[in-house]
A and B are shown apart, each in its own frame.
Chain A
Amino acid sequence: MAEQHLPERQSPLEPDYHPGSHGNFEHGVDVILSETRPGSILQLAAWPGEESRLIEIIRKVTGLALPDGAGGGVSSGGSAAFGFAPGKFTVLDEAEGLAQAFADAMTPAIGTLTDLSHGRTTIRIAGPKAEWVMAKFFAIDFALPAFPLGAGRSTNHHDIFAQIQRTGADQFDIYVFRSFARSFWKALCYASEEVGYEVQ
């Protein structure tokens, strides 16, 4: 199936995705919002004691070397990985078919692989006011020393569960459940009006 050329997926944000500058942007935009639409989003879970073997598999398959420690992560070009729970990792790639790439390496002795490529929507916020806007939603510390580059966090905004990876000094990728994505997107745009935002 991986070889098959699949049609483009529908974005849950479509009717509310308006490229251009919005809000209080007369003096410039302070955040840029976009949907990154990776082709593959996987969840990999290791059984207790198998975590380091799983990290090794991730390195072999994707080339991403995960740092040690809770919430440790790395992003590079079109791929990224981070821990979001004990023994659990989110791994993504801009191309489809990552699940197939992992299928052989992920034996039942190590853990499980769950394909969430459709189930999670990835929204990127970048710019000098990214931390400020994110702080309106999430009760976690976005300052660089507390939330280092590449690291992942699991948190929520009201009922909206979110995984967040810092993919730049002033850039975050937010993974939300697809069904909540439009609602979250609208709220994110609303909250960004104050600083001026551009949708790319």
Chain B
Amino acid sequence: MSPRRAETGGRIDRLRTIRFTFDGAPYTGYAGDTLASALLANGVTLFGRSFKYHRPRGLLAAGVEEPNALVTVLRGEVREPNIPATMVEIYDGLVAVSQNRTPSLAWDIGAINQLGGKILSAGFYYKTFMGPVIGPLKGTRFWMFCEHFIRRAAGLGKAGTAPDPARYERMNAFCDVLVVGSGPAGLMAAKAAADQGARVILADLEANLGGSANWSGETIDGMPAADWAQRLAAQLAGNDNVRLLPRTTVWGYYDGNTLAALERVTDHKEVAAKGEPRQRYWAIRAGTVVLATGSFERPLVFPGNDRPGVMLAHAAERYANEYGVLPGQRIALFTNNDSAYRSAVALKKAGAAVVAIVDVRGDVSNEMRRLASDAEAELLAGHAVIATEGGKALTGLKVQRFDATSGVLSGDERSIHADSLLMSGGWSPTIHLASQAGAKAEWDPARQAFLPPKPTQRWTGAGAFTGSFSTAEAIAEGRAAGLQAAGGAASSAPLPVVEAAPGDPDPAPVFEIKAKGKSFVDFQHDVTAEDVRLAHREGFISVEHLKRYTTLGMATDQGKNSNVPGLAIMAEALGKPIPEVGTTRFRPPYTAVSIGSLAAERFGDLKPERLTPMHDWHITNGARMYSAGLWYRPMIYGLPGETVEQAYVREARATRESAGIVDVSTLGKIAVQGPDAAEFLDRVYTNMFSTLAVGKARYGLMLREDGLAFDDGTTWRLGEQEFLMTTTTANAGKVMQHLEYFLDVIWPELKVTVTSVTDEWAGAAIGGPNARAILASCVTGTAVDNATLPFMGIVHGQIAGVPVMICRLSFSGEMAFEVYSGAGYGTRVWEALIEAGKPFGLVTYGLEALGTMRIEKGHVTGAEIDGRTTARDLHLDWMLSKKKPFIGSAMMDREGLIAPDRLELVGLIALDNRPLNGGGHIVEELDEANPHASLGHITACCYSPALGKHIALALVKGGEARHGTRAFVSDPLRNRFGPVEIVSNHFYDPDGSRMHG
């Protein structure tokens, strides 16, 4: 049998043996074991190597605050580092490995760092920035030299590189009462609130609800506390208005009583069920929160307090009572308070020999003396531990007489032979969530602890969280908190009766025993008491500076063990009381949170995307898709063997020679309706829309309030009070918000409704010399000749038996038409147009050809309307009405916006016949070695099949005046230099004869 597992006892299932490996060696444990308890049962004492000095470390704790025993859990190729072994539930096939050791835990070459302790003291990392001068290595260079080694030597587990196939989910929850912590206080609160009919969520980070009841050994209502807790939890589970969330860590307390929690759904299972997430991120909106988060036992700070075998007293009690595992056979205790006496009795009862209780207090109560004798332990009152002995396991300790008031050691050293030393430095309420919620913690001199602040949000506390450390108090406070949270009246009904060991909750104010040797404050970050004093000597006396300089409390455990002792030592160095030193505010997360759970479903295939009605047709017909924001649009419809450039050149050329068709369903479309719609558009656009006739469209430009260009598009007047506005694809959402803002906030008197109808309509733009003939061959119910459908005219008809709306407008510069149909008919109409176009050689074209034709025409898009350009810069000043004010009209003529040296839109032709690049700069004189004096930059470029040249649009200083002159493109990043000619942005068909036909 396991060397340290007791024959009986514990809440594990001894009938179910679990097999797992640690560092490659096979072990067994029982269902209900954590990795920590199972390894301890197997006689493992060495769990990890420390962060800086690579000192051997064992288990300090039994719960979430464990700083030393961090392991990496492997699932296939996926590795999750830095999990406390105390939080890993074992399952068949679990593979865990230790961290920060080379080549093995027992033989770690990094342990040599222990010899260089002076160099690696507090702030060592920062000091390397300044660095001593060693030959050529000084300052930054010294740091860079050191950094390589520091980063390799210091550290925790390594993150994996394999993709994580696990499923993560987000879950939203609402409740009247959220109870955090399921110890006696939390269970009572949940029960009381549930009995009031409140919707209750009870969350606990442990697998088994019950908290301290699971290991306290106390009796409640005549039954073992653990059974009492289990019974209460079972009652709650049967309640429709209660949701129990075991294995769920509430890690963030945010504004508006919104809390974040992480549920580890399948981490304890060998295999997840189909569709079951590994972890669930719960966003909980709670009416009231009951914080019943308990407390942490504090270590004492003395030389050798980090040796494997030195453990928190309650942790040993828990291993014995909950898991039936003894941390040692010969146990000594070291304490400044009464709670360790209970632990001593528990361990004695579990079968260990308790050799001594070392108490810093000279004056120990008779009750405690009785407990010591129950444990058959020698009581050394007024003594302190000054050293520990052993290597990878404890062999003994040394004690000396100690004065708790002066801190002075005296008398002879005495050695005690023990394989386990349990310490208790008092208790700190787990106030993290309360601190996150807003206010500052308050120091209680009797408890020697920070107590929760006054609530700034709707929460109430109960039990050890409030500094009430006895189970009887926890039960009373829990019920009161639950009733209060659920809006119930206080109850005078009898409470469950607790039988527990006696004890005074107030410790002696002793945190550190000053003797020779390294005394650890922060175990995980290897911060010693001397480091804290060094920080003080070097001037880092504010608590925030102390934290950053020494990294105290900055490890993955966020100082759960070390905060108060660290502050106490700093306070002593400063000669100030602890409350004057203050404490740092706790921030989320309470424990480490996986990035996967935060990302939840928003990655990979499940990322939201927008598809046009013709999407599947594009895919089937060889389109290569391109993501434009959330939309997917065809980039090209490539033929076999074609490059992207060959494809778009072919598509654009065919469109100009005969006809082409493109999916324009992504254009933003907004229905603007109501008696004041025309008036509203007059205010929103720079040009007039009230004068637009029904059945006609007009190109419009919008400015921002500051006078810069915002968006452009055509707006169609479908009725006296009904307009269909189109926007650029990218700005659809922004324009919608802009319109809504003005209607809600600035002009609420206007009777106008704006509605996004982008998705209502499928849009196909068909253009080219044969476009009209193609339409004429498939449209019924209307003519499409020049008289019926003039430029910017709109007609209604049918294609393939479905209603369509056709507007004659052109982006390509060809005679072109936009055909709109209900989105559900989009593919049907599209296919009918393709069919009708076959005799004419109609091609489908994508974004690349669309862009090419718009560059040839010199039309602007988001690349030019970039938030810095004005209408004048873009030669759109002809659209600025002088008859009316409009958004931006007052600000657009400001001095800086009409200056002659502004960047203006021009066209460029590459004179060396090589491709140009977007973002390349334009200069007057070429200086490849020292590129300078930019005149502007290229916004869009292509090979123009119409011109047979490489062309671009650019924003260039004093642009129009430079037409016909030579300049150079200077693009050092891509090593593209060469001569260009500056021309008008209207490269192709400048008088528009092709589109007006």
Asked if A7 is an interface residue, CB under 8 A from chain B, the answer is yes
Given A118-B822, A118-B824, A184-B608, are A112 and B753 also a contact pair (CB < 8 Å)? yes
Least Cβ–Cβ distance between B739 and chain A, in angstroms = 14
Asked if B852 is an interface residue, CB under 8 A from chain A, the answer is no
Asked if B119 is an interface residue, CB under 8 A from chain A, the answer is no
Closest to A26 in B: B274
Contact A114 B608 (CB under 8 A): no
User: A139–B826 Cα gap in the complex (Å)?
Assistant: 33
Q: Which of A41-98 contact B (CB under 8 A)?
A: 43, 45, 47
Other-chain contact of B757, A119, A157, A193 (Cβ < 8 Å): A119
Least Cβ–Cβ distance between B677 and chain A, in angstroms = 9
Least Cβ–Cβ distance between A63 and chain B, in angstroms = 25
Give every chain A residue within 8 A of B610 (Cβ-Cβ): 177, 179-180, 183
Least Cβ–Cβ distance between B817 and chain A, in angstroms = 20
Other-chain contact of B601, A45, A117, A120, A187 (Cβ < 8 Å): A187
Asked if A186 is an interface residue, CB under 8 A from chain B, the answer is yes
Contact B802 A6 (CB under 8 A): yes
Other-chain contact of A194, B276, B609, B616 (Cβ < 8 Å): B276
Least Cβ–Cβ distance between B923 and chain A, in angstroms = 41
A157-200 toward B: CB 8 Å interface, digit per residue (1/0)?
A: 11110000000000000000111101110110011111110000
Give every chain B residue within 8 A of A179 (Cβ-Cβ): 610-612, 631, 665, 758-759
Closest to B631 in A: A179
Other-chain contact of A24, B173, B273, B802 (Cβ < 8 Å): B273
Asked if B18 is an interface residue, CB under 8 A from chain A, the answer is no
Give every chain B residue within 8 A of A115 (Cβ-Cβ): 760
Contact B802 A7 (CB under 8 A): yes
User: A194–B826 Cα gap in the complex (Å)?
Assistant: 35
Contact A190 B606 (CB under 8 A): yes
Give every chain A residue within 8 A of B692 (Cβ-Cβ): none
Contact A191 B601 (CB under 8 A): yes
Contact A7 B825 (CB under 8 A): yes
Given A135-B172, A135-B173, A179-B759, are A187 and B824 also a contact pair (CB < 8 Å)? no
Give every chain B residue within 8 A of A47 (Cβ-Cβ): 674, 751
User: A194–B199 Cα gap in the complex (Å)?
Assistant: 24
User: A141–B674 Cα gap in the complex (Å)?
Assistant: 35
B667-678 toward A: CB 8 Å interface, digit per residue (1/0)?
A: 000010111000
Contact A186 B605 (CB under 8 A): yes
Task: Count CB-based A-B contacts (< 8 Å).
Answer: 140
User: A136–B753 Cα gap in the complex (Å)?
Assistant: 32
Asked if B625 is an interface residue, CB under 8 A from chain A, the answer is no
Contact B283 A139 (CB under 8 A): yes
Contact B199 A143 (CB under 8 A): yes
Closest to B719 in A: A108
Give every chain A residue within 8 A of B753 (Cβ-Cβ): 45, 111-112, 114
Contact B759 A108 (CB under 8 A): no
User: A180–B630 Cα gap in the complex (Å)?
Assistant: 9
Least Cβ–Cβ distance between A11 and chain B, in angstroms = 8
Closest to B282 in A: A135
Asked if B841 is an interface residue, CB under 8 A from chain A, the answer is no
Least Cβ–Cβ distance between B508 and chain A, in angstroms = 49
Given A7-B802, A139-B283, are A118 and B611 also a contact pair (CB < 8 Å)? no
Asked if B309 is an interface residue, CB under 8 A from chain A, the answer is no
Give every chain B residue within 8 A of A114 (Cβ-Cβ): 671, 673, 753, 755, 757
Other-chain contact of B174, A7, A12, A136, A143 (Cβ < 8 Å): A143
Give every chain B residue within 8 A of A3 (Cβ-Cβ): none
Asked if B585 is an interface residue, CB under 8 A from chain A, the answer is no
User: A157–B610 Cα gap in the complex (Å)?
Assistant: 14
Contact B822 A9 (CB under 8 A): yes
Q: Which of B255-276 contact A (CB under 8 A)?
A: 273-276
Contact B759 A177 (CB under 8 A): yes
Asked if B721 is an interface residue, CB under 8 A from chain A, the answer is yes
Contact A108 B608 (CB under 8 A): no
Residue in A116, A138, A186 whose Cβ sees the most chain B Cβ within 10 Å? A116
Q: Which of B754-776 contact A (CB under 8 A)?
A: 755-761
Asked if B602 is an interface residue, CB under 8 A from chain A, the answer is yes
Asked if B204 is an interface residue, CB under 8 A from chain A, the answer is no
Least Cβ–Cβ distance between A141 and chain B, in angstroms = 4
Closest to A190 in B: B606
Residue in B609, B800, B823 whose Cβ sees the most chain A Cβ within 10 Å? B823
Asked if B793 is an interface residue, CB under 8 A from chain A, the answer is no
User: A139–B671 Cα gap in the complex (Å)?
Assistant: 29
Closest to B720 in A: A108
Give every chain A residue within 8 A of B273 (Cβ-Cβ): 24, 194
Closest to B600 in A: A136
Give every chain B residue within 8 A of A119 (Cβ-Cβ): 756-761, 823
Asked if B613 is an interface residue, CB under 8 A from chain A, the answer is yes
Given A119-B823, A191-B169, are A180 and B174 also a contact pair (CB < 8 Å)? no
Least Cβ–Cβ distance between B957 and chain A, in angstroms = 39
Residue in A43, A108, A112, A184 whose Cβ sees the most chain B Cβ within 10 Å? A112
Asked if B9 is an interface residue, CB under 8 A from chain A, the answer is no
User: A31–B612 Cα gap in the complex (Å)?
Assistant: 29
Contact A183 B759 (CB under 8 A): no
Give every chain A residue within 8 A of B611 (Cβ-Cβ): 12, 179, 182-183
Closest to A23 in B: B275
Contact A136 B721 (CB under 8 A): no
Closest to B275 in A: A193
Least Cβ–Cβ distance between A84 and chain B, in angstroms = 12
Give every chain A residue within 8 A of B608 (Cβ-Cβ): 157-160, 180, 183-184, 187
Contact B757 A9 (CB under 8 A): no
Contact B606 A108 (CB under 8 A): no
Given A178-B823, A183-B608, A194-B276, are A108 and B171 also a contact pair (CB < 8 Å)? no
Given A119-B823, A135-B173, A190-B601, are A10 and B760 also a contact pair (CB < 8 Å)? no
User: A157–B601 Cα gap in the complex (Å)?
Assistant: 11
Given A9-B824, A114-B673, A187-B601, are A120 and B759 also a contact pair (CB < 8 Å)? yes
Contact B616 A178 (CB under 8 A): no
User: A117–B821 Cα gap in the complex (Å)?
Assistant: 12
Asked if B827 is an interface residue, CB under 8 A from chain A, the answer is yes
Least Cβ–Cβ distance between B245 and chain A, in angstroms = 13
Asked if B170 is an interface residue, CB under 8 A from chain A, the answer is yes
Given A1-B803, A136-B170, are A108 and B275 also a contact pair (CB < 8 Å)? no
Asked if B972 is an interface residue, CB under 8 A from chain A, the answer is no
Given A15-B616, A146-B174, are A10 and B827 also a contact pair (CB < 8 Å)? yes
Closest to B827 in A: A10
Closest to B749 in A: A48
Give every chain A residue within 8 A of B964 (Cβ-Cβ): none
Asked if B801 is an interface residue, CB under 8 A from chain A, the answer is yes
Other-chain contact of A140, B172, B605, B758, B803 (Cβ < 8 Å): B172
Give every chain B residue within 8 A of A146 (Cβ-Cβ): 174
Give every chain A residue within 8 A of B675 (Cβ-Cβ): 108
Contact A7 B801 (CB under 8 A): yes
Asked if A104 is an interface residue, CB under 8 A from chain B, the answer is no
Given A47-B751, A143-B174, are A24 and B274 also a contact pair (CB < 8 Å)? yes
Asked if B828 is an interface residue, CB under 8 A from chain A, the answer is yes
Asked if B277 is an interface residue, CB under 8 A from chain A, the answer is yes
B641-681 toward A: CB 8 Å interface, digit per residue (1/0)?
A: 00000000000000000000000010000010111000000
Given A24-B276, A180-B608, A193-B275, are A135 and B171 also a contact pair (CB < 8 Å)? yes
Contact A43 B828 (CB under 8 A): no
Contact B630 A108 (CB under 8 A): no
Residue in B171, B753, B822 whose Cβ sees the most chain A Cβ within 10 Å? B753
Given A117-B822, A159-B630, are A10 and B613 also a contact pair (CB < 8 Å)? yes
A-to-B contact residues, CB < 8 Å? 1, 6-7, 9-12, 14-15, 23-24, 43, 45, 47, 108, 111-112, 114-120, 135-136, 138-141, 143, 146, 157-160, 177-180, 182-184, 186-187, 190-196
A-B contact pairs, 11 of them (CB 8 A): A6-B801, A7-B825, A11-B824, A43-B755, A118-B759, A139-B285, A141-B174, A146-B174, A177-B759, A178-B759, A180-B610
| 9 additional A-B residue pairs with CB within 8 Å, beyond A7-B825, A119-B823 | A7-B828, A10-B826, A10-B827, A112-B674, A118-B760, A119-B757, A135-B171, A157-B608, A194-B273
